[in-house]
Structure 1
Amino acid sequence: MTVTPSAEFVPRHIGPQGDDIETMLNQLGYSSLEELIDTAVPADIRQSEPLDLPAPRTEAEALADLRVLAGKNVMKTQMIGQGFSDTLTPPVILRNILENPAWYTAYTPYQPEISQGRLEALLNFQTMVMDLTALPIANASLLDESSAVAEAVLLMRRANKAKATAKTVIDSNVFPQTISVVRGRAEALGFEVEIADLSAGLPEGEISGIVLQQPGNNGAVIDHASIIAAAKDRGAMVTVAADILSLTMITAPGEQGADIAVGNTQRFGVPLFFGGPHAAYMAVRHGLERSLPGRLVGVSVDDAGTPAYRLALQTREQHIRREKATSNICTAQALLAITASMYAVYHGPAGLKRIAQRAHHHARTLATLLTGAGHVLVSDSFFDTLHVTVSDAAATVAAADAAGINLRLVDGTTVGISTDETTTAAHVAAIAGVFGITDAAATAAGFELGAAVLRTSDYMSHPIFNTIKSETQMLRYLRRLSDRDLALDRTMIPLGSCTMKLNSTAEMESISWPEFASIHPFAPEHQTEGWRELITDLEARLSVITGYAGVSIQPNAGSQGEYAGLLAIRGFHLANGDTQRNVCLIPASAHGTNAASAVLAGMKVVVVKTAADGTIDANDLDAKIEANKDILSAIMITYPSTHGVYDADVREVCDKIHAAGGQVYIDGANMNALVGLAQPGKFGGDVSHLNLHKTFCIPHGGGGPGVGPVAVAEHLVPFLPGDATGTYTMRDGIPVVATLFGSAGVLPISWAYIAMMGGEGLTEATKTAILSANYIASRLNEHFPVLYTGNKGLVAHECILDLRELTNKTGVTAEDVAKRLIDYGFHAPTLSFPVAGTLMVEPTESEDLGEIERFIEAMIAIRGEMEQVLAGDFDIADSPLRNAPHTAASVIRTDWERSYTREQAAFPVKHLHQDKYFPPVGRIDGANGDRHLICSCPAPEAFEN
């Protein structure tokens, strides 16, 4: 095959080439890749035409195209505020975290022994948040501030059982985008939300909880102590949405009596990114930790008693509780939380306070100049934001635009000005000029924060925030942490259901360009032409790929895409007067977030049984449809199924649901097995969400960012989320689910991937993913039986290895195998999902045959060790499997008394002699970590022994 310049990128993305493909096909008994695909993928879902996408671009061409798009964005000094502030990302953090594959290609830390570096960074994040909010428990992290407030509202309603049916009251001074997101959640779940001016006191009636903003939407800093006390007296809980930087100067929410604090950490070194991805935070008082949504990092010990980090309380698995889940959050914003935490490490508490004081000083200087010229401020108490009354706000904002500065158009007579870390005296003078003030030499006079709101307590006293002073120290700290982890830059991560494929450097390069990264999400449209063109084009390409009529990229995680898709179905039924249709059928094998999302969308979940072969039980489906035919809203199915198989009856299932008046939601998590071969919008789907962080190459980042676009058929297009005006009003009752364009900042990655692959390349990627999965299934089947298969014993893009019989014989568990793989230098496959006692393996199209063979070699060797247990060479308790993973410290002990050699422990196969990864800790005691919950940085003395 001759590779033309226009197709250059495809073989860089796809691992197996030429003779390797022949080798794999020979193992499977097929003469061509097309023959294999024709056998594996049901004929009645296959698309008849190739993907109608532009011809593939080379890396250089795609980057040039992105330069053109970036150049259409206008860079201004961003002083709009409204929850988004410009910031300076320290270059050592930009290059060594945001632009470093050791950090951005890591997976969620479900295998904590090989995730100690990013877990420490996330523990730093939690400690930083706990200290700044003065609350004892914090997570790491949530998706954005608006949805974090919505999660807090739901938490208050769950926790305050005495007021379970009472209304939630939101202060009118909360950001409008937050109010809109909360209203959307409330409308779907059927509880009352009242917007009230809480500076005038609490409204009448029973109240479950209240939400306050500090500083408020209008910039005002208010002593909330009395309203918080009044709420507590009325039996209500309290959430404060707090600006994280302001908490270095302003009394913390916990010190004022709040139960929950939420907010955004974007201004801690994370670029504006046109609205995201940004890591939100949530901190809670004692007693609420088991209801906390998102991920919680805790401290436990390993098998040698060494302190070790892990995800605690199984909060990461809330979605596995299905319809009983308290949240549908799955993806967090780990990479951005790590960035924010390292910004705090880099600056320390004193440095953060200096940044806050400087922003506050510039705001005070502006207030002095403006009031001296006769202008009226909405509030005289502020941190970094002024709202100024003018005769013609639009004209003032336009004049600022002409001077190179973006201000906020609040209403016809009010302009918002927000200072930040990047604000200078020159900016202050320029704004003064916009208001007709020619002499901008005044210094801040007055406008000091009152004693009641001034923070007096210490924060961030842990040594990690106070000992790293130089860039050399910072560089080495980041390297030390990354060396403790296993990411895609070191090894294959063969995780079923999560598609850990190549995240190419060419795809990643543009996201940190200032023309993309420094744009405010509420910048005027004439300044964001490049962003809007890229987004429109990406949505159009995703429509072609999926076969749907419309796409919205607003949902900023797969879980939010599910939620948005179900809201579209709900809106459709309501518009048709079918208010009774609220039942969602979900197969027992479906992704766990499906049921949680359905509940959040106001639906009742009815589970459909799984047949012995892994397909949907047809008889049970028929019975459930018949029992609910008048109230059926939707079915949620994953295709290919969560069992890694192309169910042959998917069209029949879709037809049955449509005949009963329901809609079909097809979970797009496994789209990597469909692109170019089949389109869910053409074989029966009404709506799907996609995971851009899986199929379309946005990296997992240690657990986020994710993007979960929702794609819909023509009749559901009016019910897509989003409001491009930026006013955040609910269009026809359809709420926004996140910031205007969600996690826009990472969309150039998927755009570049699709552009460089082209339709033919994307299709070849899908075929190769299927080939690689079947090759692994075939090579390992005699050692670990493949649980479910489809036509002629083939799987889709992943396979489930069944260890249950082997476990019964030997005592070796799937977890033992997962931990032992670490000694071979591999991240484990997906453990015990969707079937307990199994491993789900997905090689993706990006892994070459050599790496696949290395994984197969490791698995066969581990099977040999299981045979050694059977033969009595060693007891299971004293086996390399149960003692895995082996640290360097454990194998150099002078008192080695195990019944296997040190070489078998650490170097079980020959190639490890030269390239060996040693985990930093041994097997972690999870139960200990849950019994003794510690979720902040331990003192250095804890590591001394």
Structure 2
Amino acid sequence: MTSTRPLAAALESDTFVSRHVGPSDAEQQAMLAALGYDSLDAFVDAVVPANIRLRRTLAIGPARTEHDVLAELRALAGRNQVWRSYLGMGYHATLTPPVIQRNVLENPGWYTAYTPYQAEIAQGRLEALLNFQTAVIDLTGLEIANASLLDEGTAAAEAMAMSYAAKGKPGKETYFVARDCHPQTIEVVRTRAEARGITVVVGDPATFTFGAEVFGALLQYPATDGAVRDHRAFCDAAHAAGALVTAACDLLSLTLLAPPGEWGADVAVGNTQRFGVPLGFGGPHAAFFATRDEYKRIIPGRIIGVSRDADAKPALRMALQTREQHIRREKATSNVCTAQVLLAVIAGMYAVWHGPEGLTRIARRVHTLARVLHAGLERLGFHVTHDDYFDTVSVEVGTHGQQDVLDAAAARRINLRVVEPGVLAVALDETVGPRDVLDVLAAFNAGAEPAFTVEELLDEADPRYDERFARTSPFLTHPVFSTHHSETEMLRYLRMLESRDLSLTHSMIPLGSCTMKLNATAEMVPVTWPEFGQLHPFAPAAQWEGYRALFDGLEKDLAEITGFAAVSLQPNAGSQGEYAGLLVIREYHRARGEAHRDVCLIPQSAHGTNPASAVMAGMKVVVVGTDQHGNVDVADLRKKAAEHSAKLAALMITYPSTHGVFEEAVKDICAIVHEHGGQVYMDGANMNAMVGLARPGDIGADVCHLNLHKTFCIPHGGGGPGMGPIGVAPQLVPFLPGHPVQTVGGGQAIGPVSAAPWGSASILPISWVYIKLMGGEGLATATKVAILNANYVAHRLKDAFPVLYKAQNGTVAHECIVDTRVVKAASGVEVEDIAKRLMDYGFHAPTVSFPVAGTLMIEPTESESKAELDRFCEALIQIREEIREIEIGVADRADNLLKNAPHPQGRLLADEWTHAYQRSRAAFPTAATRERKFWPHVGRVESAYGDRNLVCSCLPTDAYAEANAQGA
């Protein structure tokens, strides 16, 4: 009997799209019915302006199965060659402890959490970050450290900016950079300095003379060629001239070498990658930044500090300048709005796992093998260029013999670095053993095995640094670094901290503008494949053909999705994307002889990073007003554009708007800017409302950054990692960022904006897999459902809390702002009280007081089911009824469910209960919370107390015990 079913239907596979999109077809129809629409397409036609709609399917292929996509990626990974790379330059192979790899790096309980703005449900991550800060403070010998930055190069650039904020002034605008810093660091600093009008002088610290014009200096310790030099006299001279000194350090070396804080450095920066974080072809890795206490108010990035909760028990939170860029805008000293939390947690846990003795043992082993290598090279007749070093041996081979050595090393699948013609460097790491050293020596011996043994060499290999450089001070003395060295204890410690954090494994995280969507397991699996994780970012091109194919494919797909001509994957955060995009615009104007164009128009409603980025890019910010609906005031824009026409460089606009609305006039806005010679920068934070429905390049934007950690499924990781690639129109392609080590960027490239050529390369497979799994139609479906979910939430909440901004037909885009200010006068309830009470219901709060003070901005994303949306809406509706009890006098205005929220177990189980409301109402407000309860670990945190009594490293154990006794 012959089948009448079509072959395609008979062989239909289970695609990923239905796994990613939360609401079923039936649930979508129910939500559409509630909103008054017959179909999803009719609904989307009502929301998205017709003049920006993309009327075709994205040309990126059909949706595919997880099995098929991972098989293709496996084939790409197989084209990468994992050689032994002894290249150094701030990147080293490392051994990730399996207990950390499985239970942190590969654990969604850690990688799907959000930035710890709500401290009460982030105590686990905060403690892990405090461990990281403590390790950095101890090892660098400085007094305060932040909770990580993006990479070593950008951390050095931030140190320059901070030094200028502390010491710079007109006439004092020169920054010295030692010529033996890593080449990528020098160029990232140059890029930042040039835009800010700072003069960079690269030279020899031994001969440099400080003048009154110098405000700071950057040294590498140990140097890029491995040398360890005495910088004490240099620091004295700098301080006498009123300048600050930054040391870019190798953190592992500081277990053996005198820390920079002890020999005069004011700032220490570096990369914690070799603390258990895979190479990943350049990232993501957690940079560190430490400085003296007197600069704590201008240190960039986030700082975790110790405070107390409402019950006087120790509690952690982000301290001091938290979200500084949202507050200071164009007056900010930095545009950094992210960290590398997941990687900082790994590095901190590496220190916890090994402790001071273990780290010292690793460092001594690496140094010992470097000494053995030195001794062997001398036996072979070579001259090692430096007497003092830690792990990197530089050796003179002569220009004629250089290629022979490199070829012999390549025959053994070893990469060596050419420091300069005739000089090679070998940077060893913790993965190296005696056999590896013998293989390196064979490369210097015309490929032949040397005639001596490692044991023989060890007898003649003296330590290669003298007492001037030897560390004598203790480090990692807190008990946390000495009590988790068995796997049982470590596993329980990690699990305990994980249990104190709310993540996407517990409930939806409805943060507006943050897009906390599904980070599917299939997307995450390739991150720890060795073919992606164990490649050095400066390995020869022939060894990463798989990465090249992945980059090319991802760039092509992102260009198709955005409507742009080309994409740069280098920016490793959204803030970096903003900065890079504006620098590209700036260079475009300069190339056309219009360097005077330096005015950047920014709407009043823009993210705070926008004006900060503009200033970093050397532009002057002019604010454009917004109308009563939250849209750009087109009349004011037209006026400002005409007023600054001769100097107009750019407009920065977020689309859909920060208020969650598709602005009808967006094409007119772009045309006005172009009419006056400017370029349009579009902030892609809200791209989740556009993919497959509209494209920035078609609308009129010239450059747009994409938050891959939002729209394209790279997880937030507790506040990082992230990626912020930029797409550009044809005229801007020549100016895409370059790099001093790898060939990347346009023919007239701006300098690098990140230390690694392709940013955080090892997490790019996540977005590559997501796009392939979804296909063109699937991506459009996800966008449609994201918009549907947001409108459904707005509809369900409108009677409890008014929705603040809507389009003329009453719709919103992918997020909505609900106005909680309406309850304040009658109840005394603030938006913060609602945010804290949501924790008792098992939810993270939406975005609080941004972009409008006293409101909640909610973005449900396409990955949440109708059941979860209803659970969240019912929580807010019930909280509104709890507020009503205060309004009518049933509940006390000061002592109520909201003012006392959240309610941790310790308080609820205490013998004494003095509140008028029942404990059960506080703890279990819904049936769902009785079935599955997430408990806040602490009560409401007193941030002001912590800022007045700033402590940014681990407290002594007895301090916790004393505080707990007081709170009992």
TM-score by length of 1: 0.99
Conserved 8 A contact 2:735-2:746: no
**For each residue in 1:222-265, what CA deviation from the matched residue of structure 2 results, as whole angstroms up to 9, or x when unmatched?**
11111111111122111000100000000001001111000000
SS in 2 for 1:309: strand
- CA distance in 2 between counterparts of 1:713 and 1:652 reads 18
| Mapped contact 2:538–2:741 kept (Cα < 8 A) | no
> 1 CA distance for matches of 2:237 and 2:452?
43
Alpha-carbon distance change, 181 to 161 in structure 1, aligned in 2, over 3 angstroms = closer
2:83 aligns to what? 76
Distance 1:559 1:693 in 2: 12
**Which one of 804, 807, 819 corresponds to residue 802 of structure 1?**
819
Contact map agreement 2:738 2:745 (CA 8 A) in 1: no
Q: For 2:897 and 2:814, locate their aligned partners in 1 and report how far apart those are by CA, in whole Å.
A: 31
Residue of structure 2 in register with 1:679 after alignment: 695
Structure 2 runs not aligned, ≥5 long: 1-7
Contact kept, 8 Å, 1:821 with 1:858, in 2: the verdict is: yes
* 1:694-843 matches, cutoff 5 A: 694-723=710-739, 726=742, 732=748, 734-738=750-754, 739-843=756-860
Judged with a 3 Å threshold, the aligned counterparts in structure 2 of structure 1 residues 212 and 825 are, in CA distance, closer, same or farther, namely same
Separation in 2, partners of 1:366, 1:730 = 40
Q: Which shifted more, 503-512 or 311-320?
A: 311-320
Work out which of the residue numbers 612, 623, 643 in structure 1 matches 2:639: 623
Corresponding letter in the other structure for 2:158: E
Asked whether 1:512 is paired with 2:528, we answer yes
Q: Work out the number of aligned pairs and report it.
A: 945
Counterpart of 2:922 in structure 1 is 905
Deviations 1:743-799 (A, max 9, x none): 001000000000000000000000000000000000101110000001410000000
Question: In the alignment, what sits opposite 1:396?
Answer: 405
Could you tell me which of 442, 445, 451 is aligned with 1:433? Answer: 442
2: CA distance, partners of 1:638 / 1:504: 27
Q: Does 1:101 align with 2:113?
A: no
Secondary structure (helix, strand or coil) at the match of 2:698 reads coil
In structure 2, relative to structure 1, the CA distance for the partners of 1:294 and 1:323 (3 Å cut) is same
Q: 2-side partners of 1:10 and 1:411: how far apart?
A: 52
Q: Cα distance, 1:373 vs. partner?
A: 1.7
Amino acid at match of 1:229: D
Deviations 1:588-612 (A, max 9, x none): 1111111110000000001111100
Q: How does 1:322-721 map to 2 (within 5 A)?
A: 322-391=329-398, 392-436=401-445, 438-441=450-453, 442-443=457-458, 444-721=460-737
Q: 2:274 aligns with which of 258, 267, 275?
A: 267
In 1: Cα distance, 2:378 partner to 2:209 partner = 32
Q: How does 1:161-200 map to 2 (within 5 A)?
A: 161=168, 165-200=172-207
1:145 corresponds in structure 2 to 152
Question: Which residue pairs with 2:3 in the alignment?
Answer: none
Deviation at 1:371, TM superposition (A): 1.5
1:165 positional shift: 2.7
Flag structure 1 segments of 5+ consecutive residues without an equivalent.
none
- Secondary structure of 1:585's match? strand
1:220 matched to 2:227? The reply is yes
Moved more, 318-327 or 847-856: 318-327
Deviations 1:526-572 (A, max 9, x none): 10000111011101100000000000010000000000100110000
Distance 1:511 1:556 in 2: 16
> Does residue 25 of structure 1 match 2:32?
yes
Q: Give the partner amino acid of 2:451.
A: D
**Structure 1: distance between partners of 2:394 and 2:838:** 58
Shift of 1:380: 1.6
Compared CA separation, residues 896 and 874, structure 1 to 2 (3 A): same
Q: Deviations over 1:668-689 (max 9, x none)?
A: 1100000000000111000000
Aligned to 2:935: 918
Offset at 1:3? Answer: 11
CA distance in 2, matches of 1:23, 1:57: 28
- Contact 1:397/1:407 (8 A) holds in 2: yes
Q: Is the 8 A contact 1:799 1:842 kept in 2?
A: yes
Q: Indicate which of 215, 224, 228 corresponds to 1:208.
A: 215
Q: Pairwise CA RMSD of aligned residues?
A: 1.5
Q: Is this contact kept in 2: 1:7–1:757, CA < 8 A?
A: no
* Partner AA of 2:858 in structure 1: V
Counterpart position of 2:306: 299
Identity %: 55
Instruction: Please tell me whether the aligned partners of residues 184 and 740 of structure 2 are also in contact (alpha carbons under 8 angstroms).
Output: no
C-alpha distance in structure 2 between counterparts of 1:770 and 1:450, whole Å: 65
- Asked if structure 1 preserves the Cα contact closer than 8 Å seen for 2:734 and 2:749, the reply is no
2:97 is the counterpart of 1:87: no
Instruction: In structure 1, give the amino acid aligned to 2:351.
Output: A
Which residue of the partner structure matches residue 130 of structure 1? Answer: 137
In structure 2, relative to structure 1, the CA distance for the partners of 1:729 and 1:585 (3 Å cut) is: closer
Q: Distance in 1 between matches of 2:745 and 2:19?
A: 45
CA shift at 1:724, angstroms?
Answer: 8.1
1:210/1:163 Cα in 2 relative to 1: closer, same or farther (>3 Å)? farther
Does structure 2 retain, via aligned residues, the 8 Å contact 1:124–1:341? Answer: yes
The aligned residue for residue 56 of structure 2 is 49
Contact residue 6 and residue 58 of structure 1 kept, 8 A: yes
Q: Are 1:196 and 1:203, in contact at CA under 8 Å, matched by a contact in 2?
A: no
Q: Secondary structure at the match of 1:199?
A: coil
Structure 2 CA distance for partners of 1:786 and 1:821, relative to 1, 3 Å:
same
Contact 1:493–1:826 at 8 Å: present in 2 too?
yes
Q: 1:232 aligns with which of 239, 248, 262?
A: 239
Cα distance, 1:204 vs structure 2: 5.0
Among 119, 132, 138, which residue is 2:126 paired with?
A: 119
| 2:184–2:741 Cα contact (<8 Å) kept | no
For each residue in 1:386-420, what CA deviation from the matched residue of structure 2 results, as whole angstroms up to 9, or x when unmatched? Answer: 11111332332222111121111223311110111
Partner of 1:681: helix, strand, or coil? Answer: helix
Counterpart of 2:673, as a letter, is I
Q: Tell me how far 1:508 sits from its aligned partner.
A: 0.0
CA deviation digits over 1:495-552, x for unaligned, max 9?
Answer: 0000000000000000101111000000101100001110111011000000000000
Are 1:35 and 2:52 counterparts? no
- Which residue identity lines up with residue 406 of structure 1 in the other structure? N
> 1 CA distance for matches of 2:744 and 2:549?
21
Taking a change above 3 Å as real, the CA distance of residues 432 and 522 of structure 1, as seen in their structure-2 partners, is same
Instruction: Mark the CA change 1:76 to 1:414 in structure 2 (over 3 Å): closer, same or farther.
Output: same
The residue number in structure 2 matching 1:858 is: 875
Change (3 A) 1:476 1:427: same
Would the alpha carbon gap of residues 654 and 75 (structure 1) be closer, same or farther in structure 2, given more than 3 Å must change?
Answer: same
Quote the Cα distance in structure 1 between the aligned partners of 2:9 and 2:338.
41
| Contact 2:737/2:745, CA 8 A, preserved across alignment | no
Match of 2:885 among 862, 868, 893: 868
Residues 122 and 502, structure 2, Cα contact 8 Å, conserved in 1? yes
The answer to which of 467-476 and 161-170 deviates more is 161-170
User: Does the C-alpha gap of structure 1 residues 724 and 40 become closer, same or farther in structure 2, counting only changes over 3 Å?
Assistant: farther
**Alignment partners' CA distance in 2, 1:503 and 1:788:** 29
The amino acid across from 2:420 in the alignment is D
Q: CA deviation at 1:876?
A: 2.4
Question: Cα 1:724–1:217, aligned 2, differ >3 Å: closer, same or farther?
Answer: closer
